[in-house]
Structure 1
Amino acid sequence: MTTDSQALLPEILYRIGDMADENGIGCYLVGGYVRDMIMQRACTDIDIMVTGDPLPFAKAVRDKLNGRNFILFERFRTAQLELSDPIQGSFKVELVGARKESYNNDSRKPVTLIGTLDDDLSRRDFTINALALVLNSKERNQIIDRFNGVADIEARILKTPLDPLQTFSDDPLRMMRAARFSAQLDFRLLPDVVEAMKAMHERIRIVSIERVSQEFFKIMLSPRPSRGLIILYETGLLQEILPEVASMAGIEQVDGLGHKDTLFHTFQVIDNVAAHSGNLWLRVAALLHDIAKPATKRFAKHVGWTFHGHDAIGPKIVAKIFRQMRWPLDPLDYVQKMVRLHHRPIPLSKEEITDSAIRRLMFDAGEDLQDLMHLCRADVTSKNPRKVSRIMSNFNHVEEKISEVGEKDQLAKWRPPISGEDIMATLGLTEGKMVGMIKKRMENAVIDGLIAYDRNTALDYIRVIYHELRGETNGGDKQ
């Protein structure tokens, strides 16, 4: 099988093929690049596989084609470098040797051996990635498809080149990749693949949490994250990697009263967010916004199911998950804020809204107010069209009120008119509880409209507050 890839491939890749001819070795584009080319998707990962020893060849490519940022991994017989194409610009290339691998049952560290093209393709995760495109001049552009990967692309299915139990045992992360490709590409997993994942899900424990998180983020960034998340849950993988999230599943009945399945509600919220935002951490906030509901679930007679305080307890569980998963800590405050505040706009939408309540919401949300409102709208998953229409209309009213509040632009910056350092310098205080109390009083006065959002007004106000807190009501200093 051949493909009209001449117009798609950077010319410099054919120069690599010509160099391979000069060295008498086979040279192939492999994996995701070939898959994406067939699907007419943007090609990002360029993997080139050569027969024989790839390391001397990689050095020759670097020298002859002016490669940059060259990195050699001798143990794994791979090399990475950046190349420039006059038409398609710069891109990263990974050069690998054809290989076969064997694994111990309790380890993810393979014993890597030199292999043939067929060995290399058979060890790939899925048939849609077990494709090779010849770069050598004699059979250039021919696609080698030993496992009917092209037909599987056309059928939009995911299956493994070998028995899925062997494929997933060899590299358990491939189970995460199955969920990821399903969500990214909208492909269906074959039943034997799903059954193998159910049987092998505990083996994900031997994979580093960093690699697991990397695949999980790719699922979260897919067009429809719920597709991959449901696969993780139904195969038992979610319970292994994020048990706190998996515990949200299920509906409990008491006196004929049940509550909605929090986990599948959460999946819908994530999809709703994904439809309007590519912000990974807003999607993570959607995943974790109800994370404390299992811990706060109570049944009250004549009331039904309640989850009081789940928005307050949630941020603590969020921090625990970030540490367990070794996620970057920079976005932690943002995600905790979204979880803590995700219920705040709801009561505002049901009552007469005061300027003070709006100011406090804006002040607490700061520059993330827009994201918070996106999350709140996404949290509406009722199947009752009239109810959805009513809630959305109420949210519109809240947003209109926000626009009317004059301090919007100032408060949205998440900065009070003066800082704690200003308070200490003005009043001659050192850091301590007194400074915190004065700062909080000043912030509340701004939010409640008691004083203007103005530096000098705030400085005058803290002097009065300081005197009050010291028990001085005459406005002067004690002698």
Structure 2
Amino acid sequence: MSCKEKLPYNALPDILYRIGDIADRSDTPCYLVGGYVRDVLMRKTSQDIDIMIIGEPVPFAKTIKQELKGRNFVVFERFRTVRLELETHDSGTILLEIVGARKESYNADSRKPITEIGSLEDDLSRRDFSINAMAVPLNQENRNCLIDLFDGYGDLRKKILKTPLEPEKTFSDDPLRMMRAARFSSQLDFQLDRKTMTAMSSMAERIRIVSKERVSVEFLKIIASPKPSVGLMILYKTGILHEIFPELTAMAGVEQVDGLGHKDTLLHTFQVVDKLSENSDNPWLRIAALLHDIAKPLTKRFSKSSGWTFHGHEVVGTKLARKIFNSMRWPLEPLPYVQKMIRLHHRPIPLSKGEITDSAVRRLMYEAGEDLDDLMKLCRADVTSKNPGKVKRIMNNFNIVERKITEVAEKDLLAKWRPPIDGCDIMKALGLSEGRIVGIIKKKMEAAVIEGEIPYNREAALDYIKKTYREMQNSQQAAISKK
């Protein structure tokens, strides 16, 4: 194999050269491969390192474990792969994956490969993209040379994603690679070449053979990328988004009635996700941005007097979010947070107009709780108007709302609002057991504090619930007497 480029000696951590020395002693061809090579060329750091050898990986990995004091040794016999961790002086803990060179074949209805022992070329050609199909020998003879059979280094410099083989072959073997194409485009800001994009469009339905769990992992990586709309737009243009997330593609397009059209909700949503991503790495806040208008297609109405309306899309959206979380196999723990963001994303807007009352601010603070800052980030990202004057006016109004929130928080100590007493306090003070009456009294007390009818302290709240309970009892007695 010819040496296209040569890496500087200090480009790799010293422990990799020690592995190369171990390989020389056993006369084992040993190569650094995959994403780690790409990251080295891009001057990015990574702790996940793939090493490919010509030979049996398990005995070789055992020698590495013994000589370099590896830990968490795991063997994947079907894929001729070993995983272990190594502690290094210069790079901290690294996760090492050692695999034997292999070639793969696939059944049409499965992405699980049938593997057999292969050559270096076999192994590199089965990779997803040319930028991930480069190798660097660790053996002393050709150490630090770049083996690049598919011009991955050229594609890296041109910021292009191409498959090593014909894209139809690469994507047919493993359709998840189409999701990875969108993900790498988003993460690295690379363009897909025309043949790759065309193949993805013609093979979009093949993504159906991939498990939802694997699709979900790649989708969330796109959402976590610096500019998620890059990957999302690729999925949309190729038709893959419709296969994996039809609720999103239902938002696309503009409908016209009597010359009046609404904005393209899908494009607006992509813009919101990007704007939010500039200010938050929280993946579930980004998901909330993705889903904040998800129910607009279901609530869309047109009337000659009002034009286009989407009444109740926040409420319907919270219900649809649960269905989507289940469908996408996302963890349910963040669901209440995402639903809260969807439900409240329009709530601060009326506060930004006209006079803001303390009670209105308290109610927003109470409902948003400790997620108020995230809600305001979402609201700001939701402003995608192309009119600079309008954007400036809305943002100034949000500034006023946030100043008012600070004033009320300082005045009422409600920055993270909690009622001054809880249900247990109510049951103890009134001699009640758990039940509907306790809930009613608690809600009345909370509303009284929020509206400023009683001060925010324990004594006032206890006096209020006792008075409220007496009034409820008197009202009940009066009703019985009338009978």
TM-score relative to the length of structure 1:
0.97
Deviation at 1:279, TM superposition (A): 0.8
Query: Which residue does 1:72 correspond to in 2?
Result: 75
Query: Which residue does 1:434 correspond to in 2?
Result: 437
Query: Which residue does 2:90 correspond to in 1?
Result: 87
**Unmatched tracts of structure 1, length 5 or more:** 475-479
Query: Which residue does 1:477 correspond to in 2?
Result: none
Matches within 5 A, 1:37-436: 37-406=40-409, 410-436=413-439
Q: Which amino acid aligns with 2:72?
A: N
Q: Matched residues in 1 for 2:410 and 2:445: separation? A: 15
Change (3 A) 1:430 1:90: same
Q: Deviations over 1:88-136 (max 9, x none)?
A: 2111111111111110111112111111100000000000100001111
3-state secondary structure, aligned to 2:338? helix
Q: Which amino acid aligns with 1:456?
A: E
Q: Please say if residues 20 and 139 of structure 2, whose CA atoms lie closer than 8 Å, have aligned partners that are also in contact.
A: yes
**Unmatched tracts of structure 2, length 5 or more:** 478-483
Q: Deviations over 1:429-449 (max 9, x none)?
A: 222211111111111111111
Q: Please say if residues 266 and 290 of structure 1, whose CA atoms lie closer than 8 Å, have aligned partners that are also in contact.
A: yes
Residue 8 of structure 1, aligned match among 7, 11, 29: 11
Of 206-215 and 358-367, more deviation after overlay is shown by: 206-215
Q: Which amino acid aligns with 2:105?
A: S
3-state secondary structure, aligned to 1:48? strand
Q: Deviations over 1:32-70 (max 9, x none)?
A: 111111111222421111111111111111111110111
Q: Please say if residues 7 and 145 of structure 2, whose CA atoms lie closer than 8 Å, have aligned partners that are also in contact.
A: no
Q: Please say if residues 299 and 310 of structure 2, whose CA atoms lie closer than 8 Å, have aligned partners that are also in contact.
A: yes
Q: Deviations over 1:123-175 (max 9, x none)?
A: 00000100001111111000100000000001111110011011001111100
Q: Which amino acid aligns with 2:171?
A: F
Q: Matched residues in 2 for 1:83 and 1:303: separation? A: 65
Q: Please say if residues 73 and 79 of structure 1, whose CA atoms lie closer than 8 Å, have aligned partners that are also in contact.
A: yes
Paired-residue identity, %: 65
Deviation at 1:3, TM superposition (A): 3.1
Q: Please say if residues 364 and 414 of structure 1, whose CA atoms lie closer than 8 Å, have aligned partners that are also in contact.
A: no
Of 460-469 and 310-319, more deviation after overlay is shown by: 460-469
Change (3 A) 1:77 1:438: same
Q: Matched residues in 2 for 1:410 and 1:321: separation? A: 37
3-state secondary structure, aligned to 2:22? helix
Query: Which residue does 2:27 correspond to in 1?
Result: 24
Deviation at 1:399, TM superposition (A): 0.7
Change (3 A) 1:209 1:473: closer
Of 432-441 and 422-431, more deviation after overlay is shown by: 422-431
Q: Which amino acid aligns with 1:57?
A: F
Deviation at 1:453, TM superposition (A): 1.6
Q: Matched residues in 2 for 1:4 and 1:314: separation? A: 52
Q: Deviations over 1:295-325 (max 9, x none)?
A: 0000011211000000111111111111111
Q: Matched residues in 2 for 1:410 and 1:50: separation? A: 63
Q: Matched residues in 1 for 2:476 and 2:205: separation? A: 68
Deviation at 1:407, TM superposition (A): 5.4
Q: Please say if residues 402 and 408 of structure 1, whose CA atoms lie closer than 8 Å, have aligned partners that are also in contact.
A: no
Q: Matched residues in 2 for 1:130 and 1:414: separation? A: 54
Q: Matched residues in 2 for 1:11 and 1:173: separation? A: 34
Deviation at 1:410, TM superposition (A): 4.1
3-state secondary structure, aligned to 2:96? strand
Deviation at 1:370, TM superposition (A): 0.5
Q: Matched residues in 1 for 2:417 and 2:83: separation? A: 43
Q: Matched residues in 2 for 1:276 and 1:110: separation? A: 41
Q: Deviations over 1:169-225 (max 9, x none)?
A: 111110000001111111110111111111111111111111111111111111110
Change (3 A) 1:423 1:385: same
Of 32-41 and 405-414, more deviation after overlay is shown by: 405-414
Deviation at 1:451, TM superposition (A): 1.4
Query: Which residue does 2:38 correspond to in 1?
Result: 35
Query: Which residue does 2:446 correspond to in 1?
Result: 443
Of 103-112 and 426-435, more deviation after overlay is shown by: 426-435
3-state secondary structure, aligned to 1:49? strand
TM-score relative to the length of structure 2:
0.96
3-state secondary structure, aligned to 2:474? coil
**Number of matched pairs:** 474
Q: Matched residues in 2 for 1:408 and 1:58: separation? A: 64
3-state secondary structure, aligned to 2:5? coil
Q: Which amino acid aligns with 1:377?
A: R
What RMSD in Å do the two structures reach over aligned CA positions? 1.4
Q: Matched residues in 2 for 1:408 and 1:233: separation? A: 48
Deviation at 1:25, TM superposition (A): 1.2
Change (3 A) 1:410 1:331: farther
3-state secondary structure, aligned to 2:103? strand
Q: Please say if residues 358 and 401 of structure 1, whose CA atoms lie closer than 8 Å, have aligned partners that are also in contact.
A: yes
Deviation at 1:414, TM superposition (A): 4.3
Deviation at 1:13, TM superposition (A): 1.0
Change (3 A) 1:409 1:217: farther
3-state secondary structure, aligned to 2:99? strand
Q: Please say if residues 369 and 412 of structure 1, whose CA atoms lie closer than 8 Å, have aligned partners that are also in contact.
A: no
Q: Matched residues in 2 for 1:99 and 1:304: separation? A: 62
Q: Deviations over 1:447-467 (max 9, x none)?
A: 111112212221221111111
Query: Which residue does 2:465 correspond to in 1?
Result: 462
Q: Please say if residues 409 and 415 of structure 2, whose CA atoms lie closer than 8 Å, have aligned partners that are also in contact.
A: no
Deviation at 1:5, TM superposition (A): 4.0
Q: Please say if residues 467 and 473 of structure 1, whose CA atoms lie closer than 8 Å, have aligned partners that are also in contact.
A: no
